[in-house]
A = this chain, B = another copy of it.
């Protein structure tokens, strides 16, 4: 392995970049300038930058596979990543300036990529995957005073603090076009998020088009154009895969299922007013066999459509009133000896669904109530902690019981407020709860949640970014990376970088551009 110029000595798991440096060392002393401010986001584990600068020319530079790599040109994932990052680095420049001569100096012509473990060229990312070093490389590059693309000789050691770094989007309260989801995935990759938690259906609408049960979206979607066809879903999964992002679908039940009932009769619980059905329906009916035969077929489909090893089963906010009003359920409760404890009925249902998922070789994630209300729970079930009150206590309890945790409670980004709330998200430490080292290891990561009650395609991107970037760094970087001042400085630059990639076709701003606001995204004045 060569380590001249740009080293990547301990690359996590998947990729290794080798800088096979070229050539013209003309007037090298003239370009050994002061090291620029590094504005990496999220901050890698360790960065050493030397004053020695290397230049990159759009016409000469290319990514390639090292001869020692386990991947080669047939690896679609890497080829796509090479193309994408070449474009991020130079694309904007080339469109607006044509080609350019390189100034004299040391030129970096080639960045060799070496894959040291079996690459996921044609398979899907796993919780253990990571291919974000190209992102870091692209962030190291800057245009110097003369406009030349420049990178300082650097050594980067990097790996994420937590393996599960997610964004939750909600396509039920408001439909989000596939295009909007793509944009979200692009922005996630810029921030090294690796999980899109797709809360795809809920009470309000059922946009997932099921092949087995086409009536669900036919009746339950907002309209025939507000659905995700099988092809749409495939496109989202593939777009994510190429960016190292897993898609974890959530089909929340037994609550939050009003829209399911539109297309699937005899699924929801009929609520009663005294001895008469009220005409309203409650959560999924947990006492009918038909419920489970439906769910079994449904989740079998889901398990083949979504390649990820995890399915999110929801299980939050189950309203017991409707169940309690229903005479058939009252009888069932008596027969089972549940008394008036509807948590037992909830657990009865969840356990059946968890068994179902286990039987089709998938793992389950559930919201915290499933843990809170269960007397026993299938080991390995991942618990997502979302209730803001006493969430560290909840983390203690869940991990003490030996269950893995995803933390979301402090990161509900739909709860907007005035000012730079990213600082609050940034200040959280996911391991600040009381517990042993073993317990802390059970925290596999976290998710920034953007629920859709007041979010749609018109405000999705500016509401999510760069606020979610704060969560991105918290989940990626070392726990001691906590300085708000330094984060502010880097985040302003990172925001500009995101903007130039996400809104490439818009009018560019010239010169070095900063922002003073990190809740919004726009070009601003250089400070000082």
Interface residues of A (CB under 8 A from B): 173-175, 177, 204-205, 221-226, 414-420, 453-459, 461-463, 499, 503, 507, 509-511, 513, 516-517, 519-526
> How far apart sit A459 and B510, CA to CA, in the bound complex (Å)?
21
User: What residues of chain B lie closer than 8 Å to A510, measured between beta carbons?
Assistant: 223-225
What is the predominant secondary structure among interface residues of chain A facing chain B? loop
User: What residues of chain B lie closer than 8 Å to A503, measured between beta carbons?
Assistant: 458
Is B456 within 8 A of A521, CB to CB? yes
Residue of B nearest to A205 (CB): B525
A305 to chain B, nearest CB (A): 24
The 25 sampled A-B contact pairs (Cβ below 8 Å) are: A174-B517, A174-B522, A205-B525, A222-B523, A222-B525, A222-B526, A223-B510, A223-B513, A223-B525, A223-B526, A225-B510, A226-B509, A226-B525, A416-B416, A417-B418, A419-B454, A453-B517, A454-B517, A454-B520, A456-B520, A456-B522, A457-B522, A458-B461, A458-B503, A459-B521
Select which of B173, B177, B519 is within 8 A of A454 by beta carbon.
B519
User: What residues of chain B lie closer than 8 Å to A459, measured between beta carbons?
Assistant: 459, 462-463, 520-521
> How far apart sit A420 and B416, CA to CA, in the bound complex (Å)?
12
* A175-B523 contact, Cβ under 8 Å, with A223-B510, A509-B223, A509-B226: yes
Residue of B nearest to A453 (CB): B517
> How far apart sit A461 and B503, CA to CA, in the bound complex (Å)?
16
Is A204 within 8 A of B456, CB to CB? no
Known: A453-B517, A454-B517. 4 other contacts (CB 8 A): A204-B516, A223-B525, A223-B526, A458-B520
Is A521 within 8 A of B222, CB to CB? no
User: What residues of chain B lie closer than 8 Å to A416, measured between beta carbons?
Assistant: 416-418
- State the copy count for this chain: 2
> How far apart sit A173 and B524, CA to CA, in the bound complex (Å)?
8
A388 to chain B, nearest CB (A): 13
User: What residues of chain B lie closer than 8 Å to A509, measured between beta carbons?
Assistant: 223, 225-226
User: What residues of chain B lie closer than 8 Å to A511, measured between beta carbons?
Assistant: 223
User: What residues of chain B lie closer than 8 Å to A454, measured between beta carbons?
Assistant: 418-420, 517, 519-520
Is A222 within 8 A of B524, CB to CB? yes
Residue of B nearest to A525 (CB): B222
A289 to chain B, nearest CB (A): 31
User: What residues of chain B lie closer than 8 Å to A519, measured between beta carbons?
Assistant: 454
Is A520 within 8 A of B417, CB to CB? no
User: What residues of chain B lie closer than 8 Å to A419, measured between beta carbons?
Assistant: 454
User: What residues of chain B lie closer than 8 Å to A417, measured between beta carbons?
Assistant: 416-418
* A458-B415 contact, Cβ under 8 Å, with A204-B516, A226-B509, A509-B223: no
> How far apart sit A524 and B221, CA to CA, in the bound complex (Å)?
9
Select which of B174, B462, B513 is within 8 A of A524 by beta carbon.
B174
User: What residues of chain B lie closer than 8 Å to A205, measured between beta carbons?
Assistant: 525
A187 to chain B, nearest CB (A): 12
User: What residues of chain B lie closer than 8 Å to A461, measured between beta carbons?
Assistant: 458
User: What residues of chain B lie closer than 8 Å to A521, measured between beta carbons?
Assistant: 456, 458-459
Residue of B nearest to A513 (CB): B223
Residue of B nearest to A517 (CB): B454
Closest 8 CB pairs of A and B: A456-B522, A222-B525, A459-B462, A458-B521, A458-B462, A454-B519, A174-B522, A454-B520
A93 to chain B, nearest CB (A): 17
Name the residue in A204, A463, A525 with the highest tally of chain B Cβ atoms < 10 Å from its Cβ: A525
Name the residue in A455, A516, A519, A522 with the highest tally of chain B Cβ atoms < 10 Å from its Cβ: A522
User: What residues of chain B lie closer than 8 Å to A453, measured between beta carbons?
Assistant: 517
User: What residues of chain B lie closer than 8 Å to A221, measured between beta carbons?
Assistant: 525
User: What residues of chain B lie closer than 8 Å to A516, measured between beta carbons?
Assistant: 173, 204
